[in-house]
Structure 1
Amino acid sequence: MGKIVITGASGQYGRMATDKLIAKGVAPSDLILITRTPAKLAERAAQNCDVRYGDFDKPETLAGAVKSAEKMLLISGTRVGARIPQHKAAIDAAADNGVKHIIYTSFVNVEEDNPAIVTLDHRETENLIKASGCAWTFLRDAHYADAMILNAGPGFIASGVWMTSSNGGREAMVWREDCVNSAVAVLTQDGHENQAYPITGPVSETFEEVAAMLSEICGKEIKLVETDDDGMYAHFDALGIPREPVDDQTVAGIPWNSDDMVSFERALREGYLDICTDHVEKLTGHKARSVRELIEANADFLKQVAKDNAA
Structure 2
Amino acid sequence: MTTSATSTSTSTVCQVHPLVLLSVSDHHARAVKGSKKRVVGCLLGQDNGSVINVANSFAVPFEEDEKDPKTWFLDHDFIEGMMEMFKKVNAREKLIGFYHSGPSLRASDLEINELFKKWSNRPVMVVINAGGGEDDVNKDQGEIPAEAYVQIEEVREDGSPPAKTFLHIPSQIVAEESEEIGVEHLLRDVRPTNTANANISLLGGETLTTRVSALLGALRGLTNRLSTISKYLDDVQSGKLRTNHSILYDLQEIVSLLPSGADDSTEDMLKAVSREGNDGHVVLYLSSLIRAVIKLHDLVDNKLTNSRAELGLPEISKESKDKEEQKSSDSKETKDAKQDDKK
Q: When the two structures are superposed, what TM-score results if normalisation uses the length of structure 2?
A: 0.25
From the CA coordinates, give the structure whose radius of gyration is larger: 2
Task: Return the structure number with greater relative CO, CA threshold 8 A, min gap 6.
Answer: 1
Q: When the two structures are superposed, what TM-score results if normalisation uses the length of structure 1?
A: 0.27
